[in-house]
Structure 1
Amino acid sequence: MDSFIWMQSHADWMIFFIAALFIGMSKTGIQGVSLISIPLMAMVFGAKPSTGVILPILCFADLVAVLYYRRVAEWKYIIKLIPAALVGFGIALLADKIIPPEEFKRLMGGCLLIVFVFMLWSEWRGKESTMVTKWWYAPLFGILGGFTTMIGNAAGPVLAIYFLSLKLPKYSFVGTNAWFFLVINWLKLPLQAFVWDNISTTTLLLDLYAIPLVIIGAISGIVLIKKLPEKGFRYFTAAMTFISVIMLLI
């Protein structure tokens, strides 16, 4: 896949750099803002090819986030999610044989819409849910997270709802999120490269241009999360999820 053939204008490069900036910000603090990067990248590269372009950027951003939040993580939740997420990988690989590439964008949007409705419902109830203690709760989110991250790097809102439902404070949220995606995204690399053939030398060369913007975004995220209150953190995540769903479904 020659990624540079899509970069036909200054606008394409601008979208690419904005997406990289948002990814960096999201990984270190401003959760949900990277969701805007998914439809932006899909606009330039196409829904399925964009997953191969954006994944190495995510992997680099994960490393930056873990370097900063390396001591802040709730590993008991990560361990519950990882096995189910691998099952989600397998479901996504099967779906790839059935669903045409042009339908991936709507599939991604549909998954996010389901998650967003669940988020609104949870917030509307405004009280502790007994579901979080059920044996199937974490595996359900793990499977959906693995599926959505494989088909479109769109597992952010899935994990956001899971962590928010556990009432994790913002720093525990960000640290646990960073470690989870470090594991998941690096496990996805060989699947994207050798099974879907979405990553190539030219893809990686293109992604090198994104590194400075990822670093700038990561620093911005660290600064901004310190100023964002707990409630603001929750509301911002919900707003970013809604925007991303609309951009994918239209």
Structure 2
Amino acid sequence: MTELSPLHWFLVALAALIVGASKTGLPGGVTLAVALFAQVFPARESTGALLPVLICADVLAVWLLHQRPDWRLLLRLFPWTALGVLLGWGLLGRIDDAGLRLVIGVLIVGMTLYQLAQRFWGRPAAPAPSGASVLFTAGMGTAAGVTTMIANAAGPFMAFYLLAMRMGKLEFVVVNAWFFLAVNSFKVPFAAGLGLITWDSLRFNLLLVPLVLAGAVLGRWMLRRTPQRAFELMVLWLALVGGLRLLLPA
């Protein structure tokens, strides 16, 4: 990993900055970071290379927020997400790099188009009907677990779920931060077991920690000066381009 070209170093550095900014106040950037890492590394290795970067940013976000989440909601959601992680783990052990690259590309393009459509033509999410809350939680949690394990791309599912719960802005951010800290940490032994996290990859991740921290500071600075809608649309369009690139022959 230390033998990357200057362009590849630029892409992973940019991804680390984006992850830091996304976790500390500017949502949506992780999807773009997934696409950038998949441009630099083989699809399978990219998921393991990005995971410790995400955990670093999750820890930072939880520390900066200084708020407790709704533990009851997390306890309802996490078992289904854990089940999804196990399903995704099984899929990772049976899919080749070309197939995984296609899966990541389709997930990024599909979820990005969905979010763009919601912003341009959608309506605010309605709360889940009380009679279907268990089914709704099970579906969203399992989908989030599968997509986070195979592509680190569970953000849109979690966002849809939390919006359906009609959470306030601060509560949304706090629950999101704690959820991904727990889920990403839970994924580590599975990723390591598949050889996606190694001592070499962890040494590479350490080089990116200062950039994650800088991204967190940059995210706060940009949040105060950039209209939220403009930033989110910029990230979504860039993520769409990155996802489409993954669908082309390598």
Percent identical: 30
CA deviations over 1:150-209 (Å, ceiling 9, x no partner)? 111111222122223333333222211110011001111111112x11111111111111
- CA gap 1:167/1:239 in 2 versus in 1, 3 angstroms: farther
112-121 or 93-102, which deviates more: 112-121
| C-alpha deviation, 1:248, in angstroms | 1.8
Please tell me the residue identity of whatever aligns with 1:206.
F
Taking structure 1 as reference, are residues 101 and 246 closer, same or farther at Cα in structure 2, changes over 3 Å only?
same
Partners of 1:191 and 1:97 lie apart in 2 by 10
For 2:123, the equivalent position in structure 1 comes to 126
Runs of 4+, deviation exceeding 6 Å: none
Query: Please, which of 207, 214, 217 is the counterpart of residue 215 of structure 2?
Result: 217
Does structure 2 retain, via aligned residues, the 8 Å contact 1:119–1:238? no
Aligned pairs for 1:230-249 (under 5 A) are: 232=228, 236-237=231-232, 240-249=235-244
What TM-score, normalized by structure 1, do the two folds share? Answer: 0.86
Q: Is the 1:4–1:202 contact (alpha carbons within 8 Å) kept by the matching residues of 2?
A: no
Alignment: residue pair count: 242
Change (3 A) 1:150 1:226: same
Task: Tell me, yes or no, if structure 1 residue 105 matches structure 2 residue 101.
Answer: yes
CA distance in 2, matches of 1:175, 1:236: 20
Given that 2:32 and 2:235 are in contact with CA atoms closer than 8 Å, whether structure 1 keeps it comes out as yes
* Counterpart-to-counterpart distance in 1, 2:218 and 2:186: 27
Check the 8 A contact 2:76/2:137 in 1, yes or no. yes
Rounded Cα–Cα distance in structure 1 between residues aligned with 2:112 and 2:33: 17
Measure, in 2, the Cα distance between the counterparts of 1:182 and 1:25: 16
2:187 corresponds to? 188
Output the amino acid matched with 2:235: M
Deviation at 1:67, TM superposition (A): 0.4
Contact 2:19 2:215 in 1 (8 A): yes
Post-superposition offset of 1:103: 1.6
Residues 164, 80 of structure 1: CA spacing in aligned structure 2 closer, same or farther, 3 A cutoff?
same
Gaps of 5+ in 1: none
Instruction: Letter of the 2:180 partner, please give it.
Output: F
Report the counterpart of residue 25 of structure 1 in structure 2. Answer: 21
1:203-238 deviations in Å (ceiling 9; x for gaps): 111111111111111122233335567xx35x7546
Once structures 1 and 2 are overlaid, which stretch shifts more, 71-80 or 40-49? 71-80
Across the aligned residues of Structure 1 and Structure 2, the Cα RMSD in angstroms comes to: 2.4
Separation in 1 of the partners of 2:207 and 2:129? 41
| Structure 2 partner of 1:177 | 176
- Name the counterpart of 2:137: 138
Residue 84 of structure 1: CA displacement? 0.8
Tell me the residue number matched to 2:86: 90
Counterpart for residue 34 of structure 1? 30
Q: Tell me how far apart the structure 1 counterparts of residues 90 and 75 of structure 2 sit (CA, whole Å).
A: 25
Asked whether the equivalents of residues 19 and 212 of structure 2 are also in contact (C-alpha less than 8 Å), the reply is: yes
1:67 to 63, 81, 106: 63
* Contact preservation (8 Å) 1:132, 1:165: no
Contact 1:52/1:192, CA 8 A, preserved across alignment: yes
Deviates more, 1:162-171 or 1:27-36: 162-171
Structure 1 residue identity aligned to 2:83 = V
The superposition leaves residues 116-135 of structure 1 with CA deviations (integer Å, 9 ceiling, x where unpaired) of 45546656452552545422
Question: Partners in 1 of 2:234 and 2:165 — Cα distance?
Answer: 19
Residues 36 and 206 of structure 1, relative CA distance in 2, 3 Å threshold: same
For residue 201 of structure 2, the aligned residue among 196, 200, 203 is 203
Letter in 2 for 1:205: R
Query: What letter corresponds to residue 242 of structure 2 in structure 1?
Result: M
* Cross-structure match for 1:152: 151
Structure 1 Cα separation of the partners of residues 76 and 232 of structure 2 = 23
